[in-house]
Amino acid sequence: MIATRWSHRLLGLVSTMILARLLMPEDFGLVATVVATVAIMDGFFDFGFDLALIRDQNAGRPEFDAVWTLRFLKALLFGGLLMASSPWIADYANAPEVVNISLVMGLGIAFKGLENIGVVVFQKELQFDRLFRFRLFPRLLGVAATIGLALWLRSYWAIVLGSLSRYVFEVLFSYWMSDYRPRFRISGMAKLWHFSRWILVNNVSRQLFNAADRFTLAGLVSKRDLGYYTVSADVASTVTVDLMGPAGSALVPGYAKLQDEPARLRSAFLISTAVFVALITPASVGVWSLAPELTAVLLGDQWHAAAPIIGLFALVWLFYAVAENLGKFMTMSGLQDKAALIGLCRTVLFLALFYPLFQWGGISAPIILKLGLSALEMVVLFAYCSHRLDLPLPALPAMLWRPAMAAGAMALALAYLPLPAQTPALAALVVKSALGAGVYASVSLTLWLLSGRPAGLEATLSTLLFRRRSAPGALS
């Protein structure tokens, strides 16, 4: 599953690198208006039925068919609402082009509802090789189509039509990869709703938290600035949480299977969370430190104004990713109502404070607000997880202090590295990345040894290395 997500996001990053050089920031800003609307609507229609199927070890054809039926009806309603609301969206954003963009994307969303529910079995039964192929091939074809259209059209339509093509490929591949053939069924929906009602609340709050700022900014800033904001958030997410997030998502089915084994569940939670924090922290702090070089290499010179925004979003995704990982554990542990209510409080605070802070501090202020609220959510979620597992509250600082200190040392080393001013961006990025990785690894290892070798990323890597050396036939 990790390889699946990594390949998926790597393709997205490659696509962004190419499109950023073929299209203008204004093109991304136009599409971002509709994408933000889609994300907000999706929150109100995302009932988390896939998670319900994964969590229910006894789910069979009735449940699978009911989920497929609900997803199909949801897609029809979702796509229709987007098409119907397109004139109002265009009027708010002062962009008539949004109408036609919404019509095409609404059609794609409706078609996506036909996707075969049988592919959920790949994740439920830990068939990650099949999941890898299902996620990779449609994405690869979609990226190729988008880049080809950008070379031909040189307009925002490349992004729109590329997204439509990806939806088509995903539906076609879902029936090619799975022999399951869904049927229309409405019985069994009440059982699904009992689990998914809190998932809906959580998804609504999450999507509003992630997309309401982009939609609101569509009517407050230029399309160029909105393009900077949107692409910066996506790039920072891709090279931080999207690369490291699969390490947490891969454990969701495992959490579900350990519900009746509290000792093993506690151990799995502690080790997986410590490993995840140790991975996401250097990635996020590294992107913050290397934002100018990353922007120049990934996006090109015309995007230089996006560098500070990318750096801030990298720190946002650090706390957001840890909070999301904790929320998934709570969902699989029967605490989905608590996770949903905590997320809802976070989002209400964000919506209430967004506009006043924007008026006071400009486009960076809402990002800093997201950073603070995500950090607060992380602490509160960990408190609930600790109570569920009978862990002491100091367990959170024990997980955070070594990665935090190692990342701080890395940031200082990068800030004071004496590189000549005329050093090419790519060369500076390579040198700083190597230095940062070396400083983080050495400081982290030293602190781990001084701390008595507690469980975490260092212990996991040490165990794997020892086993490899001890294996029959290993070189001495």
For the chain, the C-alpha Rg in angstroms (whole number) is 23
Q: Of 17-21, 277-281, 347-351, where does the model show the most confidence? A: 347-351
How far, in Å, CA of 184 to CA of 171, rounded? Answer: 17
Location of structure tokens 């053939």: 181
Cβ density class 375-395: b for 16+ within 10 Å, e for less = bbbbebbbebbbebbebeeeb
What pLDDT score does 246 carry?
Answer: 56
How far, in Å, CA of 236 to CA of 299, rounded? Answer: 12
* Of the listed ranges 65-74, 347-356, 454-463, the one predicted with least confidence: 454-463
Location of structure tokens 């957001």: 320
What pLDDT score does 205 carry?
Answer: 85
Higher pLDDT, 462 or 92: 92
Cβ density class 322-342: b for 16+ within 10 Å, e for less = bbbbbbbbbbbbebbebbbeb
Q: How many CB atoms lie within 10 A of CB 14?
A: 13
SS3 for 327?
Answer: helix
Q: What is the mean pLDDT of the chain?
A: 84
Q: Can you read off the two tokens belonging to residue 215?
A: 């939609």
SS3 for 250?
Answer: coil
pLDDT above 60: residue 249: no
- CB of 46 within 8 A of CB of 203? yes
- CB of 269 within 8 A of CB of 329? yes
% the chain with pLDDT above 90 = 46
- CB of 33 within 8 A of CB of 89? yes
Residue 234 to residues 164, 229, 342, Cα–Cα distance (Å): 19, 9, 24
Please choose, from the candidates 115, 173, 120, the residue with its C-alpha nearest in 3D space to the C-alpha of residue 142.
173
pLDDT above 90: residue 138: no
pLDDT above 50: residue 476: no
% the chain with pLDDT above 70 = 84
pLDDT above 80: residue 15: yes
Higher pLDDT, 51 or 389: 389
